[in-house]
Amino acid sequence: MALKFSHFPNSLSSTSSPFLSLTFPTCTRFSRVASSASQMDNQRPRFTEFSYASPPIKDLMVHLISTVESKMESMLLPCTLPQDVQYFENQSGTAHASLYIRSGTSSSPIDFILGSWLHCELPTGGALSITSLSSYMNTSTDAPHLVIEFIQSSPTSLVLIIDLPPRKDLVLYPDYLNKFYQETELDKQRQLLDKITEVQPYVSPSLYIRSVFSPTAIVFRLDSETERLEQILRDDVSCAAKEVLGIWLELCVLGEKGEVRDDEKAHLKKRDSVFKSKSIETDIGSALPRMFGQETADRVLGVLQALL
């Protein structure tokens, strides 16, 4: 569930939005001069630079990514995305985005990890920045996926999502609920953040997104002056995110795997396919053409859909 475009202000979905007419020159336009292409690639922002994230979000994301890569080094293939998918922008320079994808090896429980950041100047003034890290499991395990996301609409307002979305019905499989959510005390992180005055519950406008959250999901809105908001991010949110990531790595990725029967694998494969395709459709499909042009949207969506 990366790049939650469903959280955009209504002005971005209006037919009068200026993003509708924006286009992005493809890499073939730059291939006429090899040196120009090389120079452009060197100037592209790297994913791990998190160019538009606030300092505490950037520091946290760098830590999370480095932790995932160091713990899962033998489980992940290198990122092979084309340069014009790793980073892309619109022609006017008002919207920028970066994607980072690493697929799992054949022996890994990971299907792929997906990182992304997006920065968009709003027609009404200000800017929207979205930073996320997600991991999707494969059918060798029934362990939950991972979602960490920051949606910041101003220096004083931010929506936070940290969750391990379940892959089995928690009513039909109480042992699953107990193993991944009860015994790990995941809810303690949500409870700690809930005690902070500036932190309020956030209800996503998307019924689909709300339906895939776990009972321990951290889904909050933070509203405060910039200095206080950044303090909460550094002192409290960072701690919660690192704790959830640590639990996911040790239990879901590196821990002992239970046997998954063939009939269960078929169900997981079907459910995961719907989950991933619906997430891409809901979060990215409708907004990319308006923000970056159809050509860029088709290029990026084609890469993402190939993972399904």
Q: Do the beta carbons of residue 92 and residue 80 sit within 8 Å?
A: no
User: How is the beta sheet containing 146-154 ordered, strand by strand?
Assistant: 87-89, 95-103, 110-121, 127-137, 146-154, 157-163, 218-223, 199-201
| Residue 254 pLDDT > 80 | yes
DSSP-derived letter for residue 278 is: H
Among 244, 240, 62, 230, which residue's Cα sits nearest to residue 146? 244
Total residues belonging to the chain: 308
| pLDDT the model gives residue 300 | 92
The predicted-structure confidence for 5-60, as pLDDT tens digits, reads as follows: 444 443 333 322 222 222 222 232 222 333 334 444 556 678 889 989 999 999 99
Cβ 177 vs Cβ 143: under 8 Å: no
Give the ranges where 214-293 is alpha helix by DSSP (H).
226-232, 238-247, 262-280, 288-292
pLDDT value at residue 27: 30
Q: What pLDDT band is residue 95 in, cutting at 50, 70 and 90?
A: very high
pLDDT by residue (tens digit) across 118-132?
999 988 888 999 999
Residue 89, C-beta contacts closer than 8 angstroms, at least 6 positions apart: 24, 95, 96, 97, 292
Least confident of 152-156, 159-163, 245-249, 303-307: 303-307
- Count of Cβ atoms closer than 10 Å to residue 93 Cβ: 9
- Cα separation, 263 vs 267, whole angstroms: 6
Cβ atoms of 113 and 92 closer than 8 Å:
no
Q: What is the pLDDT of residues 203-234, one digit of tens each?
A: 988 888 889 999 999 999 999 999 999 999 99
The CA–CA distances, whole Å, from 170 to 157, 180, 196, 214 equal 33, 10, 29, 9
The residues near 165 (Cβ < 8 Å, ≥ 6 apart) are: 1, 144, 145, 147, 212, 213, 214, 275
CB-based contact 107:68 (threshold 8 Å): no
**Angle subtended at Cα 185 by Cα 7 and Cα 230, rounded to the nearest 5 degrees:** 45
The pLDDT of residue 279: 77
Write down the pLDDT at residue 247: 97
Residue 182 predicted with pLDDT over 70: yes
Question: Over 50: is that where the pLDDT of 201 sits?
Answer: yes
Higher pLDDT, 262 or 307: 262
Top-level CATH class of 26-305?
A: alpha beta
Domain ranges of the chain: 26-305
